[in-house]
Amino acid sequence: MTDSAEDKAPVKIRIATTSLAGCFGCHMSLLDIDERLLELVKLVEFDRSPLTDIKHCGPGIDIGLIEGALCNAENVHVLREFRRNCKFLVAVGACAINGGLPAQRNRFDVGDILNKVYSDGPDGRARVPNDPELPLLLDKVYPIHDVVRVDYFIPGCPPSAGALWKFLVDLIGGRTPRLDYSQFHFD
């Protein structure tokens, strides 16, 4: 028995998303493309994403969208694994691009912050958590391009749904994504 052209589904572009240290606002903007999500799923297959609830990125991802900064060792591990599996890696939002709000802690010593938060409480009995299940904090917050190669950047805090839509449609269509300044969104 042979397969006819009608029996074969078109090969869809595979997209995966993940979030590191941030607010998840960039993923909310992706969801804010609203009914255009239905158009998008005709063109792509989602791997790791909040739409699928898949927690690990499989190999062979065409476009990886990543939001959030690097605050701890687990963030670095997730980022490196994600980069290995993605043909194109897209830094989405201010946190991924420059550290965003999480980078506000960069002007302070991490040890001083932990002591202030945990040990300088009203009763003075609290201790800084020291459990192997907790990821090791980095000395400062880093943007993702400090650790891996990034192919594209979508600025914003968060980027608008329109900017994400245009970017994805351009990239999926084989065009170099170009966003007008008017599409940048910073709240």
Instruction: State the pLDDT confidence band at 162, using cuts at 50, 70 and 90.
Output: very high
Residue type (1 letter), 72: N
Nearest to 86 by CA among 106, 108, 104, 66: 66
Structure tokens at 173: 């269509």
**Residue 124 placed within a domain:** no
Angle at Cα 152 formed by Cα 149 and Cα 153, nearest 5°? 105
Give 69-115 pLDDT, tens digit per residue.
Answer: 999 999 999 999 999 999 999 999 999 999 999 999 999 999 898 88
For 97, residues 6+ apart whose C-beta sits below 8 A from its C-beta are 91, 143, 144, 145, 153, 155
Instruction: State the pLDDT confidence band at 180, using cuts at 50, 70 and 90.
Output: confident
Mean predicted confidence (pLDDT) in 157-172? 94
**Residue 86 placed within a domain:** yes
**Residue 77 placed within a domain:** yes
**Residue 87 placed within a domain:** yes
Number of domains, the chain: 1
Does the pLDDT value for residue 3 go beyond 70? no
Mean predicted confidence (pLDDT) in 136-157? 96
Give the domain range for residue 32.
13-104+138-183
Mean predicted confidence (pLDDT) in 12-25? 92
**Residue 165 placed within a domain:** yes
Structure tokens at 118: 């945990």
CATH of the domain at 32: 3.40.50.700
**Residue 127 placed within a domain:** no
What pLDDT score was predicted for residue 130?
Answer: 84
**Residue 6 placed within a domain:** no
CA separation, residue 144 to residues 11, 90, 104, 128, 129 (Å):
30, 10, 16, 27, 26
**Residue 3 placed within a domain:** no
> Scanning the structure block, which residue is given the tokens 């997730």?
78
